[in-house]
Structure 1
Amino acid sequence: MSSGPARVAPYGSLSDVLVGRQAELALLRTAIAAAPSLALIEGEAGIGKSRLVGELFATPELAGARRLVGQCEQLQDPLPLSPLLDAFRLAGGELARARPANPVVGALAPLLPEIAKHLPPPLPPLPDQRAERHRVFRAAVALLEHLSPLVLVLEDVHWADGGTHDFLAFLAAHQPRDLSVILTVRTGTGLLPIREAFARAPSGPARVVTLTPLTRPEADELARRILQADLPGTFAALLYEKTGGIPFVVEELLRTLLERLPANEIPGRPDVLTGLAVPTVLRDVVLQRLSSLDDPVREILEAAAVIGMTPDDRILAEVTERDAAEVAKALGRAQAAGLLHEEDGGCRFRHALARQIVYESVAVSGRRWLHLKTARALESAGPKPVARLAHHYRLAGRPADFVSNAEAAADTALFHGNDATAARFLLQALEIGELSGEVRVRLAVKLGRAAVDGLAHAEAVPILERLLATEPLPAHLRGELRFALGRLLRQHGEAWAGYLQIESAVGDLAGRPALLGRALAVLAAPETIVDRHVGEHAARCDEAESAARRSGDRDVGVAVRIARASLLLEQGDPASWRLIDELRRDEGLSGAPREHARACLNWAQGALRVGRLDRAEALLAEGRQVADQAEYLRVAEVVELVTAAVDRAAGRWDGLEPRIRRPAGTAATFAAASLDSRLLRGALLAAMGPAEEAVACLGEVITVAGRVGAVWPLISARVTLARLLLTLDDAAGAIEHATAALALVRAKGIWVWGAETVLVLVDALGSAEMADAAALVAELGAGIDGADAPLAQAAALSARAVLARSRGDLPEADRLLDAARATLQEAGLRYEEALAAERLGRWRCESGAATGGPLLESALRLYGSMGADRDLARVSRIMRQNGVPIPYPWRGGRPSHGQTLSSREREVALLAAEGRTNQEIATALFLSRRTVESHIASALRKLGLPSRKELRGLTALP
């Protein structure tokens, strides 16, 4: 039996056999077997992501494969593509043999001076930084294609800068056919912005290889291979308890024990594990190994930990004031101790945790001194790496040096279009208490510009508010800060507060017509704010056009025209489509892809509000395409939301409710999108059930929208809840909510938003109040006269039909309602069409017309295709009451058991008959509440019972 460990395997592992990862290795091998392909390897620190990659390339099929490996550093550099550029530098020899033919690769030459002689000549700079960034992306893809067949590996992508994330999204959409890409990423670091791009890559979605801790048997096997001995149960249990099955921790713990005891003695000594506590075991292991080194080696290693994961030998020598030979010897000793390993000809910490533990072992005063020496060494090395300098000066306790470098790093990040990185640097700089008022204002103005697209809303808002409250600012800066704050508040869901901030900025921006035009264009949007009449929005739009002309700025002119088109669209003005089509062809809009994408998505939402589904689908497709091409990942939530809204309007409800939940989550980037998502979910639940959940969801939207002053969600939520309450026989509640919605419509003056409100009120008011209802319908008709708004026109026709029927004019009522149904059918609004068909079918059945039955059946099939179970139960009851046979199966797909209850439906119905609530039934049967609601609705339909209360007391069911 061996008294020492097995031979050293890849990445410094003590085991020469990969344990517990065969399935993951096979999945990874399959994932990249047929290029082009994408693979994400996920797992916590120390789980073995890099080891899995190493084992992949040790397989016979890939042992000779050409590969480039780039490493993302924990310090975020605002210069995009740094890990990719590091990988390209390794290809110098290959490029020396065959220079790339594509001249666009020359765009990389200034970024890769080490291998520039092997690249095409540099290209002249482009005036537009976005175009320059796009060209660099194209050049990187072209170089990868030239080097293909190739496997590109980027490790620790959770530390990548925003530019690298954007490039990877671009690469997913333009991947060379002979390229495979592998990314390793640590879990628990948030949602990577590239995930969506990789999920919908043209080559197919990325394969995700998830690594979890080893199971107890796998951890036992790993330990047996390292110790070359069987493990008694006591030792194995304690080992697993101490390590949690994380391979790196298992190996580091055993590495330390092997220094104390012969391998064959360790399994019989479980007591040696008792002094190592989880989760500090890894720290103990590393610190024990660190203490085994002599002082000079330890000092050099500590300096290396301050410098970074892969310390530069020259910088390390300067910081430690040692010669190159002494540094090399010390690094060799640290490598022998297992703290470092060799990679690409240099030394690197074996693991980020190892570096962190060594770093934290240095006294705070010593760390500050080392950071200061590192910063000075970096400054003497040539072009200033301002991001790294900011990092080191901040930790060195040099605020002035930190702020100047942080501001420079933010400027560089903004220059490269990396707003998020810029915002983070500026936020850190603004935390410094000793800033002068002038510097603080300058940084805050830059933060206001960066934070709108930089995802720093929660951090930026209080800083801007504090500056506006405490600093004596010149008018033009005060106006710019108020405008920035207003936009941030609006995106944060605070519609009313944001609107007021922008209103207050208008006077201060009189001398800056370009910014004034943009501010007024935002104020022209009607859908986000209560207590402002559409006439006021129109006046703001006129003022914006005047400011845009004074500015002479074409981009501002385009922004104002977008606002004008949106304002007209919300009113159902047919002229809006002409203006929208002109803008879609305008080079000013197409040359600003972010503005273009946002405009199309906003117009798509406006088109849905007026019922133009055809236009909404076209605008959504264009907005998604533009956002994809521009790698504008920030609007991904909005794209998802609008897609769900379009699918809801079109009746494509299968799997829709879970999709709607995502933008409504607490991690949503756009609070306004979260509110709209909850509204959409409430409307869906009102049709599908459970009803009590729909009421709660819509009530929450009303509360939040009322608090923040968001008018469209507030009107829509109230009218949807009013319609739902009518189906629950709560006419008083329906009238209350519909009346409140009508007051908002009148205050806004946009009647295409109020048509459904009027219809609900006409339905809810009794015959004695038909005079009031007729006045409402007349007011609505005047408000939507000439509007291109199928939803509003159909609701108005339906309301007029109800009035005609109340007067006893049944033919006119039938004609009007049939026209409403035809309008909705032509518009493709399937759910509203089903509602109209149900109403018309019921009326005709009640009057004895034979054509009523087919209409009810068509409503039944439409509801069934959408899964609108609550509506299905209601229309089935109407059909039975009128002697209309219910066809089975009425929606292709799952069997319906005809008129007979399924075993599950009978089980649920009997529990309901006992008086149990849906939640109690769900708990007892291990079902969701929604499934219980569906089973009860189906049972009531088959039994011909009008409501759930009719089940009470039943002890047997057919």
Structure 2
Amino acid sequence: MQRSSGPDGPRFVGRDAELRRVTEALRRRPALVLVEGEAGIGKSRLVREALAEVVPQGPRPLVAVCPPYREALTLGPIVDAARQAAPSGAEVAGLGLSALAGTLRPLFPEWADGLPPAPEPLADAGAARHRLIRAFAELLGRLGTGILVVEDVHWADEATLELLLFLAAQQPQPQMPPRRQVPPPPLPLSLMLTYRPEEVTADSLLLRLSSRVPTGAGISHARVDLGALAVADTAELVSSMLDDEQVSAAFAAFLHERTAGVPLVLEECVRLMRDRADIVRRDGEWVRRTLGEIAVPPTIRDAVTERVARLGADAQRVLLAAAVLGDPADERTLGAVGGLAGAESSVLAPVVAAAVSSALLSGLLVEDASGPGRIAFRHALAARAVYDRVPPAERRAAHRRAAALLETARPRRIGRLAHHFREAGETARWCEYTEQAADVALASGDHLTAVTLLHQLITEPLLPAEAVAPLVRKMPFLSFTGYARRAEAVAALRAVLETDRLGPRDRADVRGQLGRVLFSLGDYAAAAVELELAVPDLGEGTFVDAWAMTVLGLPWVGPWPATTHLRWLDRAQRFAAGAELAPHERMCLLVNRATALLELGEESGWALAEELGDDESTPQLAVERARAELNIGDAAMRWGRYTEARARLTRAVDVAGRQDLEMVRIMTLVTLLRLDYLTGAWQGLAERAEHWAGTADVPVCRLEALLVGAQLRLATTEGDGQLEELLRTIREDSERRGIIALWLESAAAHARLRLSAGDAEEALALTEDSVRLITGKSMWVWATETAPVRVAALTAVGRRTEAEQFVAAFEEGLRGRHAPAAQSALEECRALSAEGRGEFEAAAQAWGEVARAWSRLPRPHEEARAREAAERCVRAARGVWRGGRRGYGSRLSPRELEVVRLVRQGMTNRQIAVELSRSPSTVAAQLKSAMRKYGVTSRTALAVSVTQAGLD
């Protein structure tokens, strides 16, 4: 009896239709090809077959593989692939890269003589990341990469996924003939990605690629979902591994049932059956044992484990080395990492050669396509099975040997070194290389990766407390958006502060950074606590110290009166005047000071705002310019200077868009929601508010969008329990975070809802804390929404004296301030007081003034409410009215006529309410009055009667 000489690699079977779809897409560049399926289903094989067909006549491919652990180096998998495409700086120098490519220097230190100078760093995380991605995209294009293949994208880091999203979004551009000595424009780039859908998390950026089909002209698209092989394909695959001899239907069905038709499981089982002699060759024919006697392992892991156990000890060490390294390696490297004798010799030791040969013959290892003599596992699942079967102590030793070997290589692969030292259990060395990886991420503009790495270090229990402060100083706090694990980071920083091993300055740095993280997320109350505690240790020697003081000058933070905030601002100004500050640092402090003064209701803030200018000469100054326009625009909106507010917010969107300041852009767009609500630009506003409420990561943006949506509902419906619960949630969350503007406005909206339901006592309770805050901080420009509903509630419960006193205090608080919105609210409070005293004639005239005041801003909804109140007082004054007509009798009033005209256009009451900025109840009452005057009982009859009467 002769055993088979070993099954060959299987043929590519059962995937003809999928291969055709992929190759057709790749030939129509640019293309986006997505290949998904479970582990072992044949994704990588499909990629290899497709490239074999397309590449000989087509574009150059670049293949990257994401490791099964989070790569510590920014864009690590694609960086490694790019290194293979351009190994030297001299080669890179001839690519004709723009100045933008200088961003890539930290990622490719070995290309230093071929890359442009590094650009100035950016403070904004979104802008920095976008610049890096644009630079890498340019590099891929100039390298002549026609197809970028990224395998196992479900393991990719965020930076890699964002690069892929950016590349997929690029549209083909017309190509102009190149000028002499100018490199030709990059070719259109196709993407081919493989992934396991079951391992894609719900918040992964990969879903943005896999859930949408590109809409750009000329973009080809193919999405292939690989499933199990059919029984006939199973028979063909097994036959291809057994000298192409026919496999019986019974045997094929048996294997298909046991392996679920997964190609990798089939392949490993056939190899194992050969090793066991379950399949043998006798007299030139294959002979198989009785099917019932063959034990088929239930998983790939079991099959691989059994096969490995049949190999010698040295071959098993080579397999462990390949599994530990993860990347293709030569024989000498495998021997060294495996700890084989003689591996250090310059001449390949026989024991190493024999062990590698045995591992290759097993079929578990193959020579990789990345280069001759480079060896790797045929399948990642087999590598994992080998790795898991080895005792932890042996794995740690192999990782230690791998790290020692990689430390001698140039350039050093920092991400891999951090991984190996961590798996080796050497915390100090892991921290060393992880910090280096964070430095690379910071230098290249990948703030998110830097935050993630620094977060790992800071939360490492074995890291000494005194080592934390230097790491904290490096953290780019602007990157703490929805991506960051904020709760863990905050907890880690607080845990460090609880130790007694920090010096005063280090403690101030850690606490100050904690305050900055909380502040950037809108947790102003918590930020104030930390910054105030940090102040005693501040040495007044750095920009960070002055920044903390200006933040404490903002009325959003701390429970202090305005005088305390002003003292903080003065202290910061005195320090800044004599300090050596960079231009953007000085501008940052000026923006903070102007913002604080305006929020405190100080007219001097407007003069300072005019001094800020429009300098965008550096990226850092551009950030401050955008921030200034946003902050001053928001303050102008609060003061009621709506024309200036819109102009500044529009400029902020423009600057943020040009400078890729994504966080500033989103915050400005959400602020514009509120301005549109106030000024009556309600068309499509509800949909926009809903969008940002569901997508904004920063709490202050999400809450503001929710509030705009709630106030629209309050203005156009009668309100319900669901709306009341929403307003309560917004109010409580805003109050907890110290977001004063949203807290005051949501409380006022909630109080107005309760007042309209006849519950004046609850309306008073809802405005109690708001009034205490406004009066305690003397911030009367913030009283616009609160004051009218407060006075109305006081009057409704008979506390008219208290209402009059509140109005007087409001008037005094606004003295000397040009705040049109608050002044209009003051006029409304006076009208409410006159009406509460029963002085209806005077109240009607006062309400008329209120309507004109709101119209000048404009605030059409408030204007409409004022005119309704004026009509109410006119009706109440009948019988004592002196002068003017008493009413319209049987004729339609102008406001009733407006309603009837819209009824004739087919609008519902709710649509009319939105169009006219009135409440639905008011529209219903005016419609009912019109029907009564014409003696009809339906909307249709009313429309007919009005038409017959000749009214337009």
Q: TM-score, normalised by structure 2?
A: 0.75
Distance in 2 separating the partners of 1:420 and 1:30: 34
- Aligned match of 1:703: 732
* CA shift in 2, pair 1:816/1:511, >3 Å: closer
Aligned 8 A contact 1:38 1:180 in 2: no
Equivalent position to 2:547, from 499, 515, 518: 518
Give distance in 1, aligned partners of 2:496 and 2:222.
47
Deviation, 1:485, is: 1.6
Shift of 1:471: 2.0
1:540 pairs with 2:572? no
Q: Which residue of 1 is the match for residue 65 of structure 2?
A: 71
Q: Separation in 2 of the partners of 1:98 and 1:560?
A: 41
- 1:563: Cα distance to partner? 0.9
Counterparts of 1:603 and 1:265, CA distance in 2: 85
Partner of 2:840: 808
> Superposed, which structure 2 residues align to 1:198-209 within 5 Å?
none
3-state SS of 2:544 partner? helix
Q: Match of 1:466, as an amino acid? A: A
Q: Show the 5 A alignment for 1:607-626.
A: 607-611=636-640, 619-620=648-649, 622-624=651-653, 626=655
CA–CA distance in structure 1, aligned partners of residues 254 and 824 of structure 2: 73
Shift of 1:305: 1.2
Alignment of 1:781-930 (within 5 A): 781-785=811-815, 787=817, 789=819, 791-805=821-835, 806-809=838-841, 811-824=844-857, 826=858, 848-849=887-888, 850-854=893-897, 864=911, 873-883=920-930
Among 351, 354, 370, the residue aligned to 1:344 = 370
Q: Could you tell me whether the CA contact under 8 Å between 1:444 and 1:463 is conserved in 2?
A: no
Match of 2:334 among 306, 316, 324: 316
The alpha-carbon deviation at position 719 of structure 1 amounts to 0.9
Native 8 Å contact 2:213 2:221 kept in 1? no
Q: Structure 1 residue 751 and structure 2 residue 760: aligned?
A: no
Q: Residue 930 of structure 2: SS of its match in structure 1?
A: coil
SS in 1 for 2:612: helix
Q: For the Cα contact (< 8 Å) 2:750–2:766, is it kept in 1?
A: yes
Q: Which residue of 1 aligns with 2:432?
A: 404
Greater alpha carbon shift after TM alignment, 838-847 vs 292-301 = 838-847
Secondary structure of the structure 1 residue equivalent to 2:62:
strand
My pick for the range that moved more, 106-115 or 433-442, is: 106-115
User: Offset at 1:182?
Assistant: 2.0
Is structure 2 residue 517 aligned with structure 1 residue 488? yes
**1:687 touches 1:870 (CA, 8 Å); kept in 2?**
yes
Asked whether the 8 Å contact 1:521–1:541 carries over to 2, the reply is yes
Inter-partner Cα distance in structure 2 for 1:437 and 1:530 = 29
Cα deviation, 1:552-585, whole Å, max 9, x if unaligned, reads: 2133321211112222443566665664464351
Conserved? CA contact 1:751–1:784, under 8 Å: yes
Could you say if the C-alpha distance between residues 431 and 658 of structure 1 is closer, same or farther in structure 2, counting changes exceeding 3 Å?
closer
In the alignment, does 2:100 pair up with 1:100? no
Letter in 1 for 2:318: I
Q: Secondary structure at the match of 1:662?
A: helix
Shift, 1:430, TM fit: 4.5
Distance 1:74 1:489, change over 3 A: same
Residue 894 of structure 1 corresponds to: none
Write the distance in 1 (CA, Å) between the matches of 2:393 and 2:335. 20
* 1:368-767 map, 5 Å: 368-430=396-458, 435-436=463-464, 438-446=466-474, 455-491=484-520, 494-527=523-556, 529=557, 531-554=559-582, 555-571=584-600, 576=605, 579-580=608-609, 582-583=611-612, 585-587=614-616, 590-611=619-640, 619-620=648-649, 622-624=651-653, 626-627=655-656, 638=667, 641-642=670-671, 645=674, 648=677, 650-651=681-682, 652-656=684-688, 658-663=690-695, 668=697, 670-687=698-715, 691-764=720-793, 765-766=795-796
Alignment of 1:330 onto 2:363: no
TM-superposed CA distance for 1:473, in Å, is: 3.1
Matches of 1:763 and 1:886 in 2, distance apart?
Answer: 32
Cα 1:206–1:460 change in 2 (3 A) is farther
Give the structure 2 partner of residue 919 of structure 1.
none
Change (3 A) 1:523 1:298: same
Q: Secondary structure at the match of 1:585?
A: coil
Q: What are the Cα deviations for residues 715-761 of structure 1, in whole angstroms up to 9, with x where unaligned?
A: 22211111222333333222221233222222232222222212112
3-state SS of the aligned residue for 1:467?
Answer: helix
- Say whether the 8 Å CA contact 1:73–1:159 is kept in structure 2: yes
CA distance 1:127–1:853, change in 2 (3 Å): closer
Deviates more, 1:293-302 or 1:515-524: 293-302
Measure the CA separation in 2 of the matches of 1:885 and 1:62. 84
Q: Distance in 1 between matches of 2:53 and 2:821?
A: 62
| CA 539–19 in structure 1, closer or farther in 2 if over 3 Å, else same | farther
The answer (yes or no) to whether the contact 1:157–1:183 under 8 Å persists in 2 is no
State whether structure 2 residue 146 is matched by structure 1 residue 150.
yes
Mapped contact 2:106–2:440 kept (Cα < 8 A): no
**SS state of the match for residue 179, structure 1?**
coil
Shift of 1:489: 3.2
For 1:255 and 1:618, locate their aligned partners in 2 and report how far apart those are by CA, in whole Å.
Answer: 72
Q: Matched residues in 2 for 1:845 and 1:455: separation?
A: 59
Segment of structure 1 superposing worse, 855-864 or 480-489: 855-864
| Matched-pair identity in % | 27
Task: Check whether the contact 2:546–2:575 (CA below 8 A) recurs between aligned residues.
Answer: yes
1:180 aligns with 2:189: yes
Deviations 1:906-935 (A, max 9, x none): xxxxxxxxxxxxxxxxxxxxxxxxxxxxxx
Q: Which amino acid aligns with 1:880?
A: L
Letter in structure 2 aligned against 1:783: G
Match of 1:301 in 2: 319
Alpha-carbon distance change, 617 to 355 in structure 1, aligned in 2, over 3 angstroms: farther
> Retained in 2: the 8 A contact 1:845–1:853?
no
- Given that 1:219 and 1:247 are in contact with CA atoms closer than 8 Å, whether structure 2 keeps it comes out as no
My pick for the range that moved more, 303-312 or 714-723, is 303-312
Instruction: Tell me how far apart the structure 2 counterparts of residues 150 and 200 of structure 1 sit (CA, whole Å).
Output: 20
How much has 1:377 moved relative to structure 2?
0.7
Map 1:105-144; keep pairs closer than 5 Å: 107=102, 121-124=114-117, 128=121, 140-144=136-140
Q: CA, structure 1 residues 180+406, in 2 after alignment: closer, same or farther (shift >3 Å)? A: closer
Deviation digits for residues 646-698 of structure 1, max 9, x if unmatched? Answer: 5655323353454244247xxx4x44445445544543554567721221222
RMSD: 5.3
SS of 1:70's equivalent in the other structure is strand
CA apart distance, 1:300:
1.0
CA distance in 2, matches of 1:197, 1:837: 52
Give the match's secondary structure for 1:397: coil
Output the CA distance in 1 between the equivalents of 2:782 and 2:570.
23
Shift of 1:452: 5.2
Contact 1:610–1:752 (CA under 8 A) maintained in structure 2 = yes
Q: Distance in 2 between matches of 1:608 and 1:97?
A: 51
1:422-451 Cα deviation digits (max 9, x unpaired): 344444444555555543444455458698
Distance 1:676 1:521 in 2: 24
Alignment of 1:201-240 (within 5 A): 214=227, 223=234, 226=237, 239=257
Check conservation: 2:132, 2:445, Cα contact below 8 A: no
The amino acid across from 1:815 in the alignment is G
Aligned-pair distance for 1:257?
A: 7.6
Q: 1:191 to 1:63 in 2, by over 3 A?
A: farther
With normalisation by structure 1, the TM-score equals 0.74
2:454·2:471 contact (CA, 8 Å) conserved in 1?
A: yes
Aligned residue type for 1:385: R
How far did 1:83 drift?
Answer: 3.7
Q: Give, as a single letter, the amino acid of the residue that structure 2 aligns with 1:822.
A: S
Q: Counterpart of 1:366?
A: 394
2:498 is paired with a residue whose SS is: helix
